[in-house]
Amino acid sequence: MRLHKENVPIHRERARTGVTCPLMIPIDRSALPRHIACVMDGNGRWAEQRDLPRVEGHKMGEHALFETVAGALDLGIEWLTVYAFSTENWKRPPDEVKFLINFNEDILLRRQQELHESGVQIRFIGRTDWRVPKRLTRLMADATELTKNNTKLKFTIAFNYGGRAEIVDAVKSLVKTGIAPDKITEKMLARHLYDPQMPDVDLMIRTSGEYRTSNFLLWELAYSEMWFTDTLWPDFDRTDIAKAIYDFQNRTRRYGGVTA
Ligand code: IPE
Ligand code: IPE
Ligand code: MG
């Protein structure tokens, strides 16, 4: 049983075997999902299975996160969004919440330069309410500014994010424009979401054997294909991404219509 995985810099990670190679998964690079969103779940259980404190699972999740980023870069995915902290995660024990906040700060500080050099554009969605420390908000703004002209991958971190909160915030912002209620359209509301440029999700991945959205991207997931795995997030790797994409490519998306 491997207890520790070394965090490898993205360029070294990418130089290793290509994403499609481990299982020779035949991914069609002309039909990639434009936007992949991940619910990174199962860190706590990963640690509990090893009699370790839950936070050790979060620490090990960093490896999976950067493996996912490297995989997305490798394949040329345009948008990758990850669920880092939900509006409901404040319910957790204060020590775990504190750890998660500090850990997000720490990852940003340690690895934003590397993401920048890999051509990743870092973006954030979520509420910046009083519970999010100013220091983290500043770090998020700095990372956004540093990487804003990068074009390889739009990598969005959902922090203090809730799908319902996002819709409520969008409605508030739209109503403030003074629009007449009967003039409101879906497109208009979408322009008031946290990131109006973000396209709908094509493929949602959730680890840890839970089959739910847990309030992630409720609006953007409307016609997303969903892929679930029992693998716990710290064990997730590029082979899993390849499997998910392969599965995605073998589905028929109908959007409520009929197949020709
Ligand atoms: C996901 O792992 C990480 C966050 C929610 C921040 P969990 O901490 O939810 O792990 P489990 O689901 O308890 O195993
Ligand atoms: C969803 O996982 C939130 C994140 C991954 C950040 P949770 O572990 O919080 O979701 P539930 O409680 O199992 O629905
Ligand atoms: Mg969980």
* Three-state SS at 95: helix
What residues pair up with 123 in beta bridges, in sequence order? 156
Choose among 92, 77, 72, 67: nearest CA to 13: 67
Determine the distance separating the centroid of ligand 2 and the alpha carbon of 101, expressed in angstroms. Answer: 15
Q: Please report which ligand is nearest the Cα atom of 41.
A: 1
Instruction: State the Cα–Cα distance between residues 16 and 237, nearest whole angstrom.
Output: 13
Dist. CA 1–CA 240, nearest whole Å: 19
Structure confidence at residue 117 (pLDDT): 98
The contacts found for 246-249 with CB under 8 angstroms, 24 or more apart, are 246/25, 246/26, 246/27, 248/33, 248/202, 248/203, 249/27, 249/28, 249/31
200 catalytic residue (yes or no): no
Per-residue pLDDT reduced to its tens digit, 204-226: 999 999 999 999 999 999 999 99
Q: 234 CB less than 6 Å from ligand 1?
A: no
Share the mean pLDDT of the chain: 94
Torsion of CA 136, 117, 148, 142, to 10 degrees: 20
pLDDT at 21 over 90: no
Supply the pLDDT for residue 52: 98
> Does the C-beta of 128 come closer than 6 Å to ligand 2?
no
Rounded distance from Cα 231 to ligand 3 centre (Å): 12
pTM of the model: 0.94
Q: How far is the CA of 133 from the centre of ligand 1 (A)?
A: 21
Whether the CB of 41 sits within 6 Å of ligand 2 = yes
- pLDDT tens, residue by residue, 73-127: 999 999 999 999 999 999 999 999 999 999 999 999 999 999 999 999 999 999 9
Residue 37 φ/ψ, nearest 5 degrees: -125, 135
Distance from the CA of 238 to the center of ligand 3, in angstroms?
21
CATH topology of domain 33-166+201-248: Undecaprenyl pyrophosphate synthetase (3.40.1180)
Q: Which atom of ligand 2 is nearest to the CA of 233?
A: 5
Ligand 2 neighbourhood includes 210 CB (under 6 angstroms): yes
Task: Provide the pLDDT for residue 17.
Answer: 47
% of the chain at pLDDT higher than 90 = 89
Q: Whose CA is nearest to atom 1 of ligand 1?
A: 41
**Residue 41, ligand 1, Cβ within 6 A:** yes
Spot the catalytic one: 7, 89, 150, 215. Answer: 89
Q: In ligand 2, which atom is closest to the CA atom of 214?
A: 14
Q: What's the gap in Å between 41 CA and the centre of ligand 3? A: 5
How would residue 4 be classed by pLDDT, with cut points 50, 70 and 90? low
pLDDT category of residue 259 using cuts at 50, 70 and 90: confident
Choosing from 41, 74, 202, 235, which is the catalytic residue? 41
Could you confirm whether 41 is annotated as catalytic? yes
CA-to-CA dists, residue 199 to 21, 30, 151, 191, angstroms? 29, 18, 15, 11
For the chain, domain boundaries: 33-166+201-248
Ligand 1 near 100 CB (within 6 A) = yes
Tokens of 63: 């490896």
Q: Is the pLDDT of residue 3 over 80?
A: no
Q: In the sheet that 203-206 helps form, which strands lie side by side, from edge to edge? A: 120-125, 153-161, 79-86, 35-39, 203-206, 225-228
pLDDT at 33 over 80: yes
